[in-house]
Amino acid sequence: MKTIRIETTNHAYPVLIGSKIINQLPKLLIQTGISQKTKILIISDENVAPLYLQVVVDQLNKFDAISYVVPAGDVSKAIGEVEKIITYAIQHGLDRSSVILALGGGVIGDLAGFVASIYMRGIRYVQCPTTILAHDSSVGGKVGINHALGKNLIGSFYQPQFVLYDTSFLTTLPTREVRSGLVEVLKHGLIADRQFVDWLEKNADSLLHLDQEAVSYALKQGIKIKADIVMEDEKEQGIRAILNFGHTLGHVIETLSNYQYLHGEAVAIGMFFAAKLAAKLGWLSKEEEAFYQHLLQKFKCKTSIPKEYDTNQMMNIMLRDKKFKNGQIRMVLPIAIGQVKIEQNIDPKFIFETLNELKR
Amino acid sequence: MKTIRIETTNHAYPVLIGSKIINQLPKLLIQTGISQKTKILIISDENVAPLYLQVVVDQLNKFDAISYVVPAGDVSKAIGEVEKIITYAIQHGLDRSSVILALGGGVIGDLAGFVASIYMRGIRYVQCPTTILAHDSSVGGKVGINHALGKNLIGSFYQPQFVLYDTSFLTTLPTREVRSGLVEVLKHGLIADRQFVDWLEKNADSLLHLDQEAVSYALKQGIKIKADIVMEDEKEQGIRAILNFGHTLGHVIETLSNYQYLHGEAVAIGMFFAAKLAAKLGWLSKEEEAFYQHLLQKFKCKTSIPKEYDTNQMMNIMLRDKKFKNGQIRMVLPIAIGQVKIEQNIDPKFIFETLNELKR
Ligand SMILES: NC(=O)c1ccc[n+]([C@@H]2O[C@H](COP(=O)([O-])OP(=O)(O)OC[C@H]3O[C@@H](n4cnc5c(N)ncnc54)[C@H](O)[C@@H]3O)[C@@H](O)[C@H]2O)c1
Ligand SMILES: NC(=O)c1ccc[n+]([C@@H]2O[C@H](COP(=O)([O-])OP(=O)(O)OC[C@H]3O[C@@H](n4cnc5c(N)ncnc54)[C@H](O)[C@@H]3O)[C@@H](O)[C@H]2O)c1
Ligand SMILES: [Zn+2]
Ligand SMILES: [Zn+2]
């Protein structure tokens, strides 16, 4: 079992990663000061609950566990779902000393964490992530839901008591979700750690097959990188922006495909786009650009943009992105393998060209 | 103009109190780092907006002010209203650098502060309270809304950038709201400051007539007392409980009267009940009990319970109160004028008797 300690201004908490470690749950709860008999509301979704809810409930026999299951997917990150969960919580006697347990992927983590942050002005919560992508969402304290007019517009910063990551839960993940999640691990390597990138390149197959040792290591490294960046910049004033590497074009592709592309699938294209643009600007060598392509392909990611997408429309969507300040195109671009920088003033001409070159 | 500085763990902010000080608003915004042209969403209610919205908008001519008006009263502290405001905010381009301004009583402060706490994971907000009761709600950082199953069940702790209290706005308050608000000022005196209680007793008439000098002083003292207690105990672990003085029976009366009693009217009865019970237990002298009655009557408050209320039912509602731990009757009781203590183990027999004696 690997343990990482996350420190924020007001709160420190551990992330525990390992195969078949769900049996550590009761001990961890007690260590965190959550005493036996405490009421624990498990929030999960319709895919995860049939697989793992009973396993978790069994671990909680000394506590007073109840559960609430929402539909799977981003549709559940909605204010109506928050209201239903709160109603259920009140009716079942959740009080200020109770705890919420998020059992699921990033959707459940974001939703359950948000409910915890506003229920009776904030109660404690813990996370048991069940997707690879959730290694990203379980660090940084961002919780929240979507609004009909945009994703993640409602939320808060709220930290869990601990994160318990049982990697054996990942084995039931659909293949596309595995690949998509691994892209965020790649991203963490590509923005900050060349050695880790080399390790990822060598271990691509083991990771895609969910080799437990390899996955634990990759999640640990990914979380460490994200945690370091987040600790430096809790409220997103500066450096944290590099976590958006690949996400500007990624969001465009998610939007234009009407979310037919999974998040990681879209981000992979976005990262390759950034590498290609950086090469065009002379910051990345042709070899490094080729390595990007090689790496992403090893992880079974597409690196081209559907040729039917209109380049002008993509440019316009990017310009509306909240990550662009005052209409200036601001992007995270690689300057080496394992290193990126934030660039404020990119000539739109080069962006336009690169988009066109990526179409296939 | 009087200024009080409120310090919390992460944040310090000033409360400014005075007559006709609304013209200080632009200067204060700038001093707080809110630059000209910043988008400011004013949230107000249907009673306050016709009286003061234009006055405030006029002060904000250098900023980009927009406004949203909700129905008056606690009905607006609802999740549906939060959602409508957020939709309006997104549609009108409020972003992370924007500011929310609460213009109204405790309802608007709680609602607008809550919206600010969850909009794009938290944006800045400022308060311009327009009721006396809001001197209580503007300190302590509690923001939130009601749920169909109970009051104030959804919310967070979130601090404003500053509070600007123009006491000239209070002159249009309905008489009952003036009296009800002054009860919370009395409460602050009665739990912590004998000298202030004496001052209040002498100045009852000036206060009821909203003499501007007297009101400013009373609000300042009330806020100071609350701030001291809250700073000692931000997250409600211990001492903060004394702020609930008078509120246990107060809530019962609000509930049984279906909110025909205003909050302060109900709390006044609750405080007298606590004094009478304390006298019965030998902690308060008969003279002190009589002073309580005299003081409350000077402020035109009733001190008796409607005789049709069933004593057993009142006892039962009190036992369900979240301020009671494990079914033990826990109450804040006076032990002198300007001093209270928290008592864990009160024989229900005495409570029953005192309730009966108060019926008229
Ligand atoms: N808070 C943050 O910092 C942050 C960061 C990144 C992403 N996110 C959010 O995370 C969400 C995406 O996360 P996600 O990809 O984990 O989505 P998800 O939670 O929807 O999971 C993806 C799919 O896999 C299913 N699933 C989950 N675990 C499974 C398992 N062990 N076995 C079988 N099926 C399983 C789910 O039911 C779902 O259908 C988005 O809403 C995004 O906004 C948040
Ligand atoms: N957050 C806290 O710590 C805290 C503390 C105490 C009370 N509260 C909350 O505060 C609320 C009660 O506050 P309130 O009594 O100020 O209620 P309120 O905001 O509803 O105001 C009372 C009435 O007076 C009207 N009004 C307000 N200002 C006016 C003015 N200047 N002229 C004419 N009319 C005016 C309002 O429209 C309303 O009808 C409750 O929801 C309570 O839960 C919160
Ligand atoms: Zn991402
Ligand atoms: Zn009160």
Do residues B78 and B202 both lie within one domain?
Answer: no
The dihedral through the CA atoms of A26, A30, A31, A33 has a sign that is: positive
Q: Which is the catalytic residue, given B135, B251, B276, B330?
A: B251
CB of A30 closer than 6 angstroms to any ligand 1 atom: no
Check residue B141 and give its pLDDT.
93
Q: Can you tell me the mean pLDDT for B21-41?
A: 97
B90 at interface of A, judged by CB pairs closer than 8 A? yes
Q: Can you tell me the mean pLDDT for B42-61? A: 98
Q: Are A81 and A111 in contact (CB under 8 A)?
A: yes
Confidence of residue A321 (pLDDT cuts 50, 70, 90): low
Span B50-72, mean pLDDT? Answer: 98
pLDDT digits (tens, 9 = 90+) for A345-360: 888 899 999 999 999 8
The total number of structural domains in chain A stands at 2
Identify the band that residue A326 occupies on the pLDDT scale cut at 50, 70 and 90: low
B154 at interface of A, judged by CB pairs closer than 8 A:
yes
Q: Are A111 and A189 members of one domain? A: no
pLDDT tens figures, A59-117: 999 999 999 999 999 999 999 999 999 999 999 999 999 999 999 999 999 999 999 99
Q: Is B126 helix (H, G, I), strand (E, B) or coil?
A: strand
- Residue A165 belongs to domain with CATH number: 3.40.50.1970
| Residue whose tokens read 């606690």 | B74
What's the rounded Cα separation, in Å, for the pair B248 and B280?
18
Residue B62's identity, in one-letter code, is K
Mean pLDDT (chain A, rounded): 94
Q: What is the complex's ipTM, to 2 decimals?
A: 0.93
Choose among A101, A135, A168, A131: nearest CA to A4.
A135
B142, B179, B224, B330: the catalytic one is B142
Angle subtended at Cα A165 by Cα A161 and Cα A167, rounded to the nearest 5 degrees? 175
Determine the pLDDT at residue B323.
54
- Ligand 1 contacts CB of residue A141 (under 6 A): no
Question: What pLDDT digit, counting tens, does each position of A121-171 carry?
Answer: 999 999 999 999 999 999 999 999 999 998 999 999 999 999 999 999 999
The larger pLDDT score, comparing residue B282 to residue B9, is at B282
Average pLDDT of the segment spanning A238-256: 92
Name the pTM for this structure: 0.95
| Mean pLDDT over each residue of chain B, to the nearest integer | 94
pLDDT band at A237 (very low <50, low <70, confident <90, very high): low
> At which of B148, B172, B196 does a domain end?
B172
**Which pLDDT score, from 0 to 100, does residue B9 have?**
79
| B163 and B84 together in one domain | yes
Predicted confidence (pLDDT) at residue B326 exceeds the cutoff of 60: no
Tell me which residue has its CA closest to atom 5 in ligand 1: A137
B248-287, pLDDT tens digit by residue?
Answer: 999 999 999 999 999 999 999 999 999 999 999 999 999 9
Q: Which atom of ligand 1 is nearest to the CA of A107?
A: 19
Here the CATH number for the domain that contains residue B266 is 1.20.1090.10
pLDDT for the residue A27: 97
- Same domain? For B335 and B211 the reply is yes
pLDDT of residue B325 exceeding 80, the answer is no
At A209, the pLDDT band (50, 70, 90 cuts) reads: very high
Residue B179 and residue B167 share a domain: no
A186 and A303 share one domain: yes
Q: CB-based contact (8 Å) between B323 and chain A?
A: no
CA of B28 to the centre of ligand 1 (A): 44
Last residue of a domain, one of A150, A172, A194: A172
Query: What domain range is A208 assigned to?
Result: 175-357
Residue A70 and residue A106 in one domain: yes
- Domain boundary residue, one of B110, B142, B172: B172
Task: Count the Cβ atoms, other than its own, within 10 Å of residue A92.
Answer: 14
* Predicted confidence band of residue B322 (pLDDT cuts 50, 70, 90): low
Pairing mode, if any, of strands A339-343 and B163-166?
unpaired
Same domain, A73 and A150: yes
User: A55-69, B191-205, B237-251, B261-275: which range is least confident on average?
Assistant: B237-251
A184 belongs to an annotated ligand binding site: yes
Q: Are residues B254 and B311 in the same domain?
A: yes
Examine the domain organization and report whether A184 and A95 are in the same domain: no
Are B205 and B349 part of one and the same domain? yes
Helix (H) or strand (E) holding B166: strand B163-166
What does the pLDDT look like over A27-36, one tens digit per residue?
Answer: 999 999 999 9
Looking at the structure, tell me whether residues B139 and B238 fall in a common domain.
no
Say what the pLDDT of residue B233 is: 73
A96 neighbourhood in chain B, CB within 8 Å: 322
